[in-house]
Amino acid sequence: MTRLAVLDLAPIIEGGDARLALRNSLDLARCAEGWGYERYWVAEHHNMRGIASAATAVVIGHIAGGTSSIRVGAGGVMLPNHAPLVIAEQFGTLESLFPGRIDLGIGRAPGTDQMTAHALRRTLAGDIDRFPQDVIELRDYFAEPQPSRHVQAVPGAGLKVPLWILGSSLYGAQLAALLGLPYAFASHFAPAALDEALKTYREHFTPSPQLAQPYVMVGYNVFAAETDEEARLLRTSSQQSFLKLRTGNPGPLPPPKADFEAKLGAAERHLLGQVTACSAVGAPDRVRTELERFVERTGADEVIVSSHIYDHGARLRSYQIAAEVGAHLRGVADKETDQTQPRRR
């Protein structure tokens, strides 16, 4: 039975600001909780005029404080930007405030450009190469306190905040398997290595105190609406944003643009086709078919849905349709499971 989660990029739209973006994120989180989503993640990005979640731990506290049961976390924190102790203290604090509801997904990318990465870290030398050691150090800060450990995370020690490894290549898959951690693959924008990465992770997984068997989450774009035509129009905001990012001109999320796709060149079409291959665009029936096919292909334990849509009402509706599709798929899976059970005489 595949669960659904929300990936919220906290979009700052053209004509809006970060305050509006964060208010909309909380509204979406409350709705997602009611619709039955498993968890709600925000991601660390810096120097991005279209994303409001740079201070990721602060945004998580905002979301968790305004909801009551949904798990809230980072998808993810870019660990090379931070000392592991600082992240342990931040997420130890969150876990203390919202016990049993906090996730910590970690990645090794900067979440920004090289100039901004240097401003964050003050150096670019060797940080990424230390990623595995930093993950282990972070994990150890959440373990039970030991007398031999002179530096402890307070809060943090003994709280066992669940760690996830995020990735878009075989590197993250191998590390997650080695450490026995759940693995989240960024197929919503970098799908090329998806199948090979999942195969690598599952084949080489080593059980750990946190996780007894492999657990996979995969990213998936959903642009859902009442009609296919409306859904395709909603997607054009995300397409415009991505092309601006790739040409070095990122900005707020633009409104949808009619006939945008028809005016794209061959190179732009090819690029968008590659990066958004893991997507469902259309009315509920089409979304159901595409999501079902994706789950069958990946065998994912969980799908984290990204609906990067300009209009907040339309974004809510897209996530609601995805939740309804997920509930239908779970119902079908439960019925099939029940039919395989022996009948009592």
Q: Which of 284, 308, 309, 304 is nearest to 294 (CA)?
A: 304
Give Cα 203 to chain centroid, integer Å: 23
Per-residue model confidence as pLDDT tens digits over 235-280: 999 999 999 988 888 899 999 999 999 999 999 999 999 999 999 9
Arithmetic mean of pLDDT, 76-80: 93
Per-residue model confidence as pLDDT tens digits over 184-199: 999 999 999 999 999 9
Q: What count of other Cβ atoms lies within 10 Å of the Cβ of residue 106?
A: 29
Q: Could you state, in order of their start, the residue ranges of all structural domains in the chain?
A: 3-340
Alpha-carbon span 13 to 65, nearest angstrom? 24
Per-residue model confidence as pLDDT tens digits over 120-171: 666 655 555 789 999 999 999 999 988 888 899 999 999 999 999 999 999 9
| Predicted pLDDT at 246 | 87
C-alpha separations of 179 from 35, 62, 163 in Å: 33, 30, 10
C-alpha separations of 148 from 144, 151, 152, 209, 246 in Å: 12, 9, 10, 21, 48
Alpha-carbon span 70 to 244, nearest angstrom? 33
Task: Output the CATH code of domain 3-340.
Answer: 3.20.20.30
- Amino acid letter at 130? R
Model confidence, pTM:
0.92
| Average pLDDT of the chain to the nearest whole number | 92
Q: 80: cis peptide before it, omega within 30°?
A: no
Helix 56-65 and helix 18-35, axial crossing angle in degrees, nearest 10: 50
Phi, psi of 301 (to 5 degrees): -75, -25
Q: Which residue has the higher pLDDT, 245 or 71?
A: 71
Q: Is the pLDDT of residue 299 over 60?
A: yes
Per-residue model confidence as pLDDT tens digits over 198-219: 999 999 999 999 999 999 999 9
Q: Which of 284, 278, 294, 306 is nearest to 40 (CA)?
A: 306
